[in-house]
């Protein structure tokens, strides 16, 4: 029972222990599959959440959406204060790589960003058409991207993490040289980057 909340997005954890959902009241709900009960309510978003995922070890959760923030939640913390990364536009998708600290997020008009968790460091920005969906392969070695105009891309994570794919912060890549400029930001849980 979601007590009047409409659910806008749902995702199983890879372990099969949890379901996470985004609601019409902007909360993120974590449900236990063992007993079917609501485990935790995560509050803080100010608009609908469209991108949710849980790391393969059930330690971290990522959430983001219409409020233009990425929130990184440490599920082992009892106070549930997220690390908050302001984004330049709405976030449509989130996906953790299996067995890795890498999170991929899809941002409207900005493309795909790879984020290191738990630091919140933005490791790679790939400037590409708006992202609707992102998914890692079961091994975490490949990332597939689908956009709002029907495009589909598949990248090797090894290639994305190489210098030739790193881009300048908040600027579209205009040349091969632009694609080689690394981007680094950092974040600690319970803090906000401004």
Which residues, 6 or more positions from 146, have their beta carbon under 8 angstroms from its beta carbon? Answer: 131, 132, 133, 134, 152
Question: Looking at the predicted structure, is the pLDDT value of residue 64 above 60?
Answer: yes
Cis preceding-peptide flag for 75 (omega within 30 of 0): no
Question: Looking at the predicted structure, is the pLDDT value of residue 45 above 50?
Answer: yes
pLDDT in tens, 77-118: 888 889 999 999 999 999 999 988 899 999 988 889 999 998
| Per-residue pLDDT band at 192 (split at 50, 70, 90) | very low
Mean pLDDT estimate for the chain: 80
Is residue 188 within 8 Å of 83, Cβ to Cβ?
A: yes
């Amino acid at each position: 029972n979601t007590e009047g909340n409409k659910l806008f997005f749902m995702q199983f954890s890879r372990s099969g222990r949890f379901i996470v959902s985004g609601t019409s009241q902007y909360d993120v709900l974590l449900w236990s599959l063992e007993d079917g009960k609501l485990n935790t309510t995560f509050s803080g978003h100010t608009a609908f959440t469209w991108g949710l995922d849980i790391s393969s070890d059930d330690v971290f959760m990522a959430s983001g959406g219409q409020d233009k923030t990425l929130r990184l939640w440490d599920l082992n913390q009892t106070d549930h204060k997220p690390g908050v990364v302001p984004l330049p536009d709405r976030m449509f998708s989130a996906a953790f790589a299996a067995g890795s600290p890498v999170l991929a997020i899809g941002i409207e008009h900005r493309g795909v960003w790879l984020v290191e968790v738990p630091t919140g460091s933005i490791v790679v920005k790939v400037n590409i058409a708006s992202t609707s969906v992102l998914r890692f392969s079961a091994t975490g070695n490949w990332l597939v991207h689908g956009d709002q105009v029907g495009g589909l891309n598949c990248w090797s994570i090894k290639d994305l993490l190489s210098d030739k794919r790193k881009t300048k912060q908040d600027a579209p890549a205009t040349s091969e040289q632009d694609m080689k400029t690394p981007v680094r930001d950092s974040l600690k849980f319970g803090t906000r980057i401004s």
